[in-house]
Structure 1
């Protein structure tokens, strides 16, 4: 079974890249487990699964990673047609003043995805001020960290696959 990253990077089922990833099967399995923990947690807390999928899709769109856009769009669609999470997947859409919690989450996601070095303690405080509790801030930060890791690994594997 191919992992999300391998599928998103369009890694063929033979060749040097496939063999290298197979040799690092434990790492790929752990990455898949991290995907499930970040996107499909047993305890959603105040960051529902549909919102996680939408935010992950948004990050993939910001980074123009087609394979992960496809993956996260399908995951998002599996949750139904709720307009709010689908709207969050669009990097050009931002929640209005009537949704300060979502607006703060989107601002954090966008900042850390586009310019992680610019994130400060004040950005975490903005999440608190918008009503996120510490456990949900940790959930959101974990999601953002994992998806950005996944985006970078997928991008590298995509380029490596093209050169085979």
Structure 2
């Protein structure tokens, strides 16, 4: 394991959030889409369930997408600002079947503040561990999705949003077969 379990979960949520806008599609167009996303990610806490909340999550997605491909200094600037803006105060919490882990906002804080703080805390671990190279973009020519490589040998090249890896492997196989004939 590279990171603590709660950090890995937060990083996967960041990837999934970024990828709601991958390849020119909009996966968070409605409040229902946001509800489904949060349910799939197991995100708990209070909600306003209004368009302003959706817009704040969409803005967070844009910021996190920029961090995903940023250099270390730019990533640090964004992480620090996200923590500052949410008035983050790290505390150990235990809830919803999770053992002790860090939260830096109250459960009733605005959704975007809670999401940005969890993302920022996870990204801080990535930066401190000098592991930013695990944050990538899919290597498929027709895909711009975020990729989180948690493999031991740092070999993950394709996203989980579609069949990018399968298509690349099939194309390579067909190229080998054509070259052999």
TM-score of the two chains, using structure 1 as the length reference: 0.37
Query: Of Structure 1 and Structure 2, which has the larger fraction of its residues in strand?
Result: 2
Q: Over alpha carbons, which structure has the higher Rg?
A: 2
Query: Of Structure 1 and Structure 2, which has the larger fraction of its residues in helix?
Result: 1
The answer to which structure, 1 or 2, has the higher relative contact order (CA under 8 A, 6+ apart) is 1
TM-score of the two chains, using structure 2 as the length reference: 0.34
